[in-house]
């Protein structure tokens, strides 16, 4: 009886101790589970982590904060910024898109999203966001503006808008800002190659750098150094396509007579270059050298008969070589292709006047005046 009683006591004490242990563990778990933090507390902790450059912790806290308050634009902005700095570009795009959704005119978020899209290869959206960011806040501080405008120029090149890209690079040369990558970027735009500097091969880079250096000197305003650099470029790379075209394009600032020889040389290097053929024809027409322009204009019209500009050039060349009926015919063809082409209307007014068709000439002049007034008023 005593034995049974002792065993029972021991069992009871073990069970009681076990129950107490469970209670202690349970109380410990309850005490470890602190009440949910408020939005204000999480936001403050996120800012504190950002201030001490603890990016992983700050990102985690900003995520929690915007879940608690999805309308907190500043939180989405800092989350996107931290993710951009951490090279988590897709996540940054998502966060910045939330910030822009709250305020469509958030120029910093638009610009930064554009830089993220640049890194992910979404070039069209990147260009649109960067340009919108610049437009909304054109007076950014110097370094930010340079970064955005440099990316804008690279994107214009990558998307095939080479002349616009060169114009965007000009201020860098005017302010004497340069780097090896910038020179290559200018070279890509000048040679009309739709690549980013990071996409080029080692074999391409000497040519690109030489082109960039020559164009940079021209943009700086040092004509003598630019001429020497371009002459050296042509000697080193005599078969480089678009090198003479680039120089001709730059020389247009001094008039068509300065540019025409370079466009002719480009056609010697690249006889199939439509851009050089078009520019040579225009410069000859601008110089009143229609006899020289006519064979080029005929070639363009044969190759590209459905372009209004082709018909305009041939029409102009025929008019200026005294073939009035032929000139009028091609100008009217151009007008069918592009009814609102002001240059064609101007040329037709001149042609009708020369032909003695005064009523037709007056009608065309009236149309030109109307189009000019509408353009000045911002109307289509």
What are the residue boundaries of the structural domains of the chain, listed by start?
40-139, 288-380
Per CATH, the homologous superfamily of domain 40-139 is Tetratricopeptide repeat domain (1.25.40.10)
Higher pLDDT, 6 or 300: 300
As a whole number of angstroms, the distance between CA 258 and CA 265 comes to: 13
| Radius of gyration of the chain from its Cα atoms, rounded to whole angstroms | 34
User: In the Cβ-directed half-sphere of 64, how many Cα atoms lie within 13 Å?
Assistant: 17
CATH no., domain 288-380? 1.25.40.10
Q: What is the mean pLDDT of residues 145-159?
A: 96
- For the stretch 196-233, pLDDT in tens is 999 999 999 999 999 999 999 999 999 999 999 999 99
**pLDDT given for residue 17 in this prediction:** 42
Q: Quick check: 263 pLDDT over 90?
A: yes
Q: Does residue 313 contact residue 293 with C-beta atoms inside 8 Å?
A: yes
Residue 129, Cβ density class (10 Å: 0-12 exposed, 13-18 middle, ≥19 buried): buried
The alpha carbon of 13 is separated from its chain's Cα centroid by a whole number of angstroms, namely: 79
Look at residues 51, 42, 47, 98 and name the one whose alpha carbon lies nearest to residue 72: 98
d(CA 67, CA 11): 51
In terms of pLDDT, which residue wins out, 237 or 18?
A: 237
Q: Which residue has the higher pLDDT, 7 or 282?
A: 282
With a pLDDT cut of 90, the percent of the chain lying above it is 84
Does residue 7 register a pLDDT over 60?
no
Considering the chain, what percentage of its residues have pLDDT values greater than 70?
A: 89
pLDDT category of residue 144 using cuts at 50, 70 and 90: confident
pTM, 2 dp: 0.84
Give residue 105's pLDDT.
Answer: 86
Check residue 54 and report its DSSP letter: -
Q: What was the pLDDT predicted at 140?
A: 59
Provide the pLDDT confidence category of residue 5 given band limits of 50, 70 and 90.
Answer: very low
- Amino acid 326: pLDDT: 96
86-109 average pLDDT score:
95
Nearest to 125 by CA among 111, 145, 143: 111
Sorted by sequence, the CB contacts under 8 Å of residue 286 that are 6+ apart come out as 256
**Residues 228-242: pLDDT tens digits?**
999 999 999 999 999
Whether the predicted pLDDT of 356 surpasses 90: yes
Model pLDDT, residue 379: 67
H and E: helices and strands count for the chain: 20, 0
Q: Is the pLDDT of residue 304 over 60?
A: yes
Q: Do domains 40-139 and 288-380 have the same CATH topology?
A: yes
């Amino acid at each position: 009886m005593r034995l049974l009683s002792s065993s029972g006591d021991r069992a009871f004490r073990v069970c009681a101790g076990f129950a107490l242990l469970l209670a202690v563990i349970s109380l410990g778990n309850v005490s470890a589970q602190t009440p949910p933090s408020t939005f204000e507390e999480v936001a403050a902790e996120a800012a504190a982590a950002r201030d001490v450059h603890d990016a992983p912790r700050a990102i985690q806290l900003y995520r929690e904060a915007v879940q608690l308050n999805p309308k907190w634009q500043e939180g989405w902005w800092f989350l996107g910024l931290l993710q951009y700095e951490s090279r988590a570009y897709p996540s940054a795009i998502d966060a910045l898109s939330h910030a822009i959704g709250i305020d469509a005119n958030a120029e910093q978020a638009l610009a930064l999203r554009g830089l993220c899209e640049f890194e992910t290869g979404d070039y069209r959206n990147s260009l649109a966001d960067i340009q919108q960011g610049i437009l909304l806040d054109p007076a950014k501080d110097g370094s930010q503006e340079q970064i955005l405008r440099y990316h804008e120029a690279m994107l214009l090149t990558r998307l095939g808008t080479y002349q616009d890209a060169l114009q965007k690079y000009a201020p860098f040369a005017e302010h004497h800002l340069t780097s090896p990558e910038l020179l290559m970027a200018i070279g890509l735009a000048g040679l009309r190659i739709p690549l980013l500097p990071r996409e080029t091969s080692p074999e391409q880079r000497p040519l690109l750098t030489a082109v960039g250096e020559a164009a940079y000197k021209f943009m700086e305003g040092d004509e003598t150094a630019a001429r020497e650099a371009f002459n050296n470029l042509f000697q080193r790379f005599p078969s480089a396509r678009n090198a003479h075209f680039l120089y001709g394009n730059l020389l247009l600032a001094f008039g068509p007579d300065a540019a025409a020889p370079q466009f002719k040389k480009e056609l010697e290097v690249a006889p199939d270059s439509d851009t050089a053929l078009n520019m040579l024809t225009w410069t000859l027409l601008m110089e009143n050298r229609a006899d020289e322009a006519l064979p080029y204009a005929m070639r363009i019209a044969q190759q590209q008969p459905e372009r209004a500009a082709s018909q305009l050039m041939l029409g102009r060349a025929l008019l200026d070589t005294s073939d009035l009926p032929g000139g009028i015919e091609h100008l009217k063809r151009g007008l069918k292709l592009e009814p609102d082409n002001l240059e064609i209307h101007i040329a037709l007014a001149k042609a009708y006047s020369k032909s003695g068709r005064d009523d037709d000439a007056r009608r065309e002049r009236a149309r030109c005046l109307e189009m000019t007034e509408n353009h000045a008023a911002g109307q289509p």
